[in-house]
């Protein structure tokens, strides 16, 4: 394999890895926010307390998981 092919393979692997991390973050944040909206709807809260709390928690959890994966590799 030539140097150019190795570089292209490495670039494709990195692209796939970081794309996967982005979708993982998106999924975690979406599920946390969705759960908060559903809980608030079920409890019929005027102020969306659970939506705010769960969305912030899911952002922190997603950042933690992504940073853990980035530091590991």
Note the pLDDT tens digit of each residue in 23-40.
Answer: 999 999 999 999 999 999
Backbone dihedral region for residue 2 (phi beyond 0: left; psi -120 to 50: alpha; all else: beta): beta
Say whether pLDDT at 3 is over 80.
no
Helices 49-72 and 3-43, axial angle in degrees (round to 10): 160
Q: What is the pTM (predicted TM-score) of this model?
A: 0.81
Give the per-residue pLDDT at 73.
Answer: 64
Span 46-53, mean pLDDT?
A: 95
Q: What percent of the chain has pLDDT over 90?
A: 60
Helical segments of the chain, H only: 3-43, 49-72
Diameter of the chain by CA atoms? Answer: 63
Q: Looking at per-residue confidence, does 11 or 44 come out higher? A: 44
Only one residue has tokens 């809260």, namely 45
Q: Angle at CA 26, nearest 5°, toward 24 and 31?
A: 100
């Amino acid at each position: 394999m030539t140097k150019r092919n190795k570089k292209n393979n490495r670039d494709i692997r990195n692209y796939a890895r970081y794309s996967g991390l982005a979708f993982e973050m998106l999924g975690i944040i979406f599920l946390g926010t969705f759960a908060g909206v559903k809980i608030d709807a079920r409890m019929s809260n005027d102020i969306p307390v659970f939506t705010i709390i769960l969305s912030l928690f899911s952002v922190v959890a997603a950042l933690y998981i992504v940073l853990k994966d980035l530091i590991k590799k």
